Structures are given as structure tokens and as C-alpha cells.
Amino acid sequence: MSSGEATAFWDGLYAGRPADERPQPNVRLTEVVTGLPPAEALDLGCGNGGDALWLAGQGWRVTAVDISAVAVARLTRLAASRGLSHQVTALRRDLHESFPPGAFDLICAHYLHTPADLDRAAVLRSAAHALRPGGRLLVVDHGSTAPWSWNQEPGLVHPSPREVAEGIGLDPGGWTVERADAPRRLATGPDGRTAEVTDHVLLVRRSA
């Protein structure tokens, strides 16, 4: 799938759904971030914007990127409507082509899965190197397939958090894996259906 096809796929997916006027943050983000001093955050694949808006509401300055111009425009509008435009910068970016510049105290990548060509390990490696000393990279992946997922491929294998960490290939002297587990939760999909799902959670901290 080319870059243009990937953009069309994600634009079509978001345009085909009603805009979520009250997007909620991912529960794994709130678990990890609550209690941390607010600073600079990068949200990779911001989607509906729930994470970026929640972080901004906690005092973080957030750069939020997504390949979908539809998602970016919606987040920009929501941030403005909540008086958070000065704290949320939403940008359209294809991570297959380039990684956002800058240094960050928190980088989150929630469900950064795509049918397009994307070297995820390289993206996450770039994210780890974009952390300031003491900064954290939070990667949350699907550990199971929800009924509303766009990917219903039979026999789909979900790499474990440890396997994801190994794929990134970070030097243990510079980064520490603080969390690698697979908690379950009850989730609600875009169509209102609920299902029990598994999250694969990886939290990496850059050495101070």
C-alpha cells in the first residue's frame, strides 16, 4: 500500500464515522501518566484526539500527529473549542516518510497498527531516541482482535510487549523497560458494542 493509498484508507475510515465530540483517553495512558509532572508530549497516531486532549487538560504541551487529515482537522477543532489550542498542535504526518522533530518527556503510541507499509520498529526506535533523559515511551498494542477492529485477519498474531521491545533493539544501558504486560479490560467500540480485550503494554524509560 502506497503512502497515498494509506492516507486515503485512514481518511476514509475517519470520514465514514461521525466525529467524536467527547473522545476519551486510553486507560493505559491515564494509568501511566497520572501523577507525572506535565511537560512536552508527542502523540503518535492521535486518531480521535482523546489522549492529546486529556494530556493538555493535565497541563502537558502536546504535539499530536496522524496520517489522516480528517483526524487532524477534527482534533484541531476540538482543541480550539476547549481553549486548548495553545497546548495542542495537531499535524498531519506520514511516519513512513519522516518522524516529527523535537525532544519530548513523554511519547505515546496507542494501537499504531496499519495495513500500509510502516517499519514500526524503526518508528519506535526514533521515538525512544527523541526522549529527553528521564522521558518515557508508552507503546500500547492490541493483544486481541476486537469485533469492531478494521483488521479481522484470521490467525492474526499479536507480538508480546517483550517481543516489541526486542524489535526496537534499544541499548539496556540507555533505556529501561519499566513495564511489559498484557492486562485485560472491557472496551466499547465506535458502534457502541462492548467486548473484553487484551492490551499489550510496553513502557520504556530513557536513562537520566
CA distances from 52 to 155, 162, 171, 178 (A): 33, 26, 29, 23
Q: Tell me, what's the pLDDT at 152? A: 55
Amino acid at position 166, single letter: E
DSSP assignment of 3-67 = HHHHHHHHHHHHHTS---SSPPPPHHHHHHHTTSPP-EEEEES-TTSHHHHHHHHTT-EEEEEES
Cell triple for residue 13?
475510515
Q: What is the pLDDT of residues 96-153, one digit of tens each?
A: 899 999 999 999 999 888 777 789 999 999 999 999 999 999 999 887 766 556 555 6
Q: What is the pLDDT of residues 11-42, one digit of tens each?
A: 888 888 877 888 899 999 999 999 999 999 99
Lowest mean pLDDT across 65-69, 189-193, 197-201: 189-193
Is this structure's pTM higher than 0.75?
A: yes
Domains and CATH numbers, the chain: 3-206 (3.40.50.150)
Question: Per-residue pLDDT for 53 more than 80?
Answer: yes
Q: Does residue 8 or residue 90 have the better pLDDT?
A: 90
State how far the Cα of 198 lies from the Cα of 186, in Å rounded to an integer. 9
Question: Per-residue pLDDT for 46 more than 80?
Answer: yes
pLDDT band at 54 (very low <50, low <70, confident <90, very high): very high
Tell me the pLDDT of the chain averaged across its residues.
89
Q: Cβ–Cβ contacts within 10 Å for residue 178, how many? A: 13
